[in-house]
Amino acid sequence: MSFSDLALTDDDPLFRETHYARYGYERTNIFGLVTLDSRLLTYMDRPDEFPSTRFEKLPEAPVPDYTQPLSKPVRHFIAASSSELTAFISRDGYWNCLCITLGLEAGKSEVIAIDAVEENQDKIKLLVALAVAEKVDEESEELAYSLRIYGNHTNTKPFLEQALFAIGDSSQIIPLMDAPMQISHVQIQHEDRLQTAFLLTSMDGIIHLYVQSSETGQFIELPSSTFFPLMGGISNHRTKILFMHLFDQPNGKRVICAGGQNGELFLAFYNKRKWSSLSIPLSISYPSPPLFVDGKEIKSHAIRIFSPITSVLVFQPRTSSHPDDELHLVVTCAIEQAIVYRSIQTDGLSTSRTLPLSGNFDSVLCSHVMDVDWDGEKEILIGTYGRQVLIYKQVAGTQVYTVLWRRQFAYPIYRMTHLDLNRDGLDELIVTTMYGVHIFQPNMKKARERLLEVLQYVEASKRQKYELLVEWQRQKELEKSIVFESQ
């Protein structure tokens, strides 16, 4: 598609919606989107009816000869509806949409949350975790809950499309006593090696941690406090966490933030794999036994706000990751405006700004950050139950945020992410609503203008360096030609 074909109106200065994919069965939940970074090769060609084609099984076309996995992972994403997964596989110039059924019965089962991760230790292993609610019987409204982990026993297929369609061949079902909420994953040191652990927040007020046993291959539950004292304190007090974010910094340190149903906001900073016997300096008294934890907790903070917390997001404001970059925190709330806590490493939770207009469109359900205008600074995106996506930009030289872009949708906004879905070098914005996935491509005209600016800057820098080099060489020649008379 040429640049001339992508003329945008003034109403779409940043993004243009290029595709909407409705879920095959029913609707999604607010934890129903996950990105997947994979080194597995992809092979399926572009379908004739791209992008509307949905693959419900592998095509009969021959699979190419397998080579080595990719040296650098490529990002894809998976969206979960009530009873199936829809995987969007990025390819050069297009993407493929795979519909994966895992034996869940429409109308009886409901996927509450999803997480996916690819392990790259001895060999590549793809794991998908689902939190599921199922009706006990057709007569009753009683629900049974479970955590289902797929791919724990099988050898992962060499191509990503094969691996996803075969993910249901091996699974483990872990019964849960209470309603689950969010699933996430983290790398921990266990059994003398680095392993992937799944973290599950739940309405029982406990943060559950599951790790795979090297003996049986089954996932077993371990106390989260063994690795993260903050989670132990939360679990001891049965604080119902709705959303949690773990952020690993370039310098190897880790930040954990958790938001609760009653407005509790917890923030902790960790080093890695050291002994810790520190108590958690919160307003609530937590126990502090000596623990061998995945990271020494160096400081933590806790406050309470007057609203259930729907999402938390720790981020570095610049796109170029540097160990010394400051960290900010976005907190979205059910009945208040979204809040940005600035410089949380130094100021904790004491310095904050609200995002203007964020409370005008019903509850704010989700947040995201990305550099939408390619200036090296990340903008803040929020999605609301009132069907709005708002993008905020920080005013240069101030701590004030202003609305840069706003878009109304047909249904509530549940989650957002971004990735280069068609591998053209520009990231698409992905927005999931109650009934489908919206794919937005950036404004190609603005992308071209920005690219030309960068090329002109690079060319000017080269020319300046060349002129300085010529001048330096001329000075050297002059120095050689000078004859000093003997005194």
Q: Could you tell me if residue 1 is inside a domain? A: no
Q: Could you tell me if residue 235 is inside a domain? A: no
Residue from 243, 241, 231 nearest 311 by CA: 243
Total Cβ atoms within 10 A of residue 462: 10
Backbone angles phi and psi of 472, in degrees to 5:
-65, -40
**Is the same domain home to 417 and 377?**
no
**Is the same domain home to 188 and 44?**
yes
* Structural domain that includes position 88: 13-205+409-442
- CA angle (51 as vertex; 163, 429 as ends), nearest 5: 85
**Is the same domain home to 52 and 196?**
yes
Half-sphere exposure of 67 (CA within 13 A, CB side): 7
Q: Could you tell me if residue 366 is inside a domain? A: yes
Specify the CATH number for the domain of residue 298: 2.130.10.10
Q: Could you tell me if residue 215 is inside a domain? A: no
Quick one: which H or E segment has residue 344? helix 344-347
**Is the same domain home to 199 and 146?**
yes
**Is the same domain home to 423 and 382?**
no
**Is the same domain home to 200 and 303?**
no
Q: Going residue by residue through the chain (487 aa), what tens digit of pLDDT does each one get? A: 333 343 434 456 889 999 999 987 688 999 999 999 999 999 999 999 999 999 999 988 778 887 789 999 999 999 999 889 999 999 999 999 999 999 888 888 899 999 999 998 778 999 999 999 998 877 777 899 999 999 987 778 889 999 999 999 989 999 999 999 999 999 988 887 888 999 999 999 999 999 998 888 899 999 999 999 899 999 999 999 999 999 998 888 899 999 999 999 999 999 865 444 333 333 333 333 333 345 588 899 999 998 999 999 999 999 877 777 899 999 999 999 999 999 999 999 999 999 999 999 999 999 999 999 998 899 999 999 999 999 999 998 888 999 999 999 999 999 999 999 999 999 999 999 999 999 999 987 877 777 777 778 788 888 888 888 888 888 888 888 776 555 4
- CA angle (463 as vertex; 459, 467 as ends), nearest 5: 170
Backbone angles phi and psi of 182, in degrees to 5:
-95, 145
Residue from 149, 152, 167 nearest 208 by CA: 149
Domain count, the chain: 2
Q: Could you tell me if residue 449 is inside a domain? A: no
**Rounded CA gap, 39 and 42, in Å?**
9
Alpha-helical (H) ranges within 298-410 are 344-347
Torsion of CA 78, 334, 313, 97, to 10 degrees: 10
Q: Could you tell me if residue 487 is inside a domain? A: no
Q: Could you tell me if residue 269 is inside a domain? A: yes
**Is the same domain home to 265 and 161?**
no
**Is the same domain home to 372 and 424?**
no
**Is the same domain home to 59 and 180?**
yes
**Rounded CA gap, 451 and 127, in Å?**
38
**Is the same domain home to 344 and 434?**
no
**Is the same domain home to 262 and 366?**
yes
The answer to whether residues 115 and 126 touch, using CB atoms and an 8 Å cutoff, is no
The single-letter code of the amino acid at 295 is G
**Is the same domain home to 312 and 435?**
no
Q: Could you tell me if residue 463 is inside a domain? A: no
